[in-house]
Amino acid sequence: MTLLVILVVLLILASLGQALYYLVRDRGRGDRAVRALTWRIGLSLALFLLLMAGFQLGLLPHSQ
């Protein structure tokens, strides 16, 4: 489960880097940067839900 969380975080960072690349390359005229940022938002939401499920099911350690 921890490996999956790390993978999703890396995907989020890659999507953010891709959006920056498209923003600089297209000079703000294309919609590729917007699509990359939309993917980042979706991945962030998925990570949040994955963390919530992991804590509820006891798959991720947490302190009390």
- Tens digits of residue pLDDT in 7-41: 999 999 999 999 999 989 988 788 888 999 999 99
Angstrom distance (rounded) from CA 51 to CA 64: 16
| Residue 47 located in a structural domain | yes
* pTM reported for the whole predicted model: 0.81
Task: Give the per-residue pLDDT at 63.
Answer: 59
Q: Identify the pLDDT of residue 58.
A: 85
Instruction: Find out whether 57 and 15 touch, Cβ atoms under 8 Å.
Output: no
C-beta neighbour count of 3 within 10 angstroms: 7
Q: Is residue 38 part of a domain?
A: yes
**Count of domains observed in the chain:** 1
Q: Rounded CA gap, 64 and 61, in Å?
A: 10
Domain that holds residue 8: 2-55
Residue 19 lies in a domain: yes
Q: Is there a domain that residue 61 lies in? A: no
3-class SS at 27?
coil
Residue 55: is its pLDDT beyond 80?
A: yes
Instruction: Please check whether residue 32 lies inside any domain of the structure.
Output: yes
Cα dihedral 53/46/16/13 (nearest 10): 30
For residue 60, being part of any structural domain is answered with no
Average pLDDT over residues 46-51: 94
